[in-house]
Amino acid sequence: MSRVDDGTGVRITEVFHSLQGEGPQVGFRTSFIRTARCNLRCSWCDTPYSFGPGTERSIPSLLAEVRRHRTSHVCLTGGEPLLQRESVELVRRLSREGYTVVIETGGSLDVRPFLRISRVVLSVDVKCPSSKMQQHNRWANLPLLRPGDVEKFVLADLADYRYARRVLTERPSRAQVVFQPVWGKEAGALADRVLADHLDVRFLLQEHKVLWGDVPGR
């Protein structure tokens, strides 16, 4: 299930133009490339429609569509983009054209192929207990993250919060840390704990859902 594909095209669920709703680049007008298929099944996943095979797209066709959006920022998301070897070449080509590329990954696969590509921001999940996927965390990724990268924890409850706090203590990284409450869950209590514990993290809601609700392609 975690095998990395090595085809000639990229399996895509959708490409769309919206505002970045997550992480430190929230609010930037962004071209989103959502890859198909995922090796994880998080309990709170909000994009299960990306689990399917998608449509194979050539890299030139994806570049052409992104150009039409006239953005400076691209987000490669999923699904799980790291499942496909062609994602590396896609990101390399986007970087050469001057785009800043955020790669959103579930954190179970090796991020090293992307580290030497310029203008790349790695947004790496650390799965907490409520996801039911925490056994898939690839801890070797965390020491590789740079100050401009993101270590993201999606939190459903206080048990997730305590898990995330322990990870930050036991497995420090240089990345920016984002705590993101699961959409629809009580976020105030989690924010209160961040304040009470004086954690040096960013606590961010999903802005696109605040604006448009839980709508695909937004």
- 3 state SS of 189: helix
CA distance 125 to 95: 22
Q: Tell me, what's the pLDDT at 216?
A: 83
CA distance 145 to 4: 21
Q: Give tens-digit pLDDT for 174-190.
A: 999 999 999 988 899 99
pLDDT score of 5 more than 50: no
User: Please, what CATH class does the domain formed by 10-212 belong to?
Assistant: alpha beta
Amino acid identity of residue 190, one-letter, is L
**45 in Cβ contact with 78 (< 8 Å):** no
Report pTM. 0.93
Handedness of CA 103, 51, 85, 69 (dihedral sign): negative
Q: Tell me, what's the pLDDT at 6?
A: 44
Query: What count of residues does the chain have?
Result: 218
Q: Give tens-digit pLDDT for 114-140.
A: 999 999 999 999 999 999 999 999 999
Domain ranges for the chain, please list them: 10-212
Mean pLDDT of 24-43: 97
Q: Tell me, what's the pLDDT at 186?
A: 84
Q: Tell me, what's the pLDDT at 214?
A: 83
Averaged pLDDT of the chain: 95
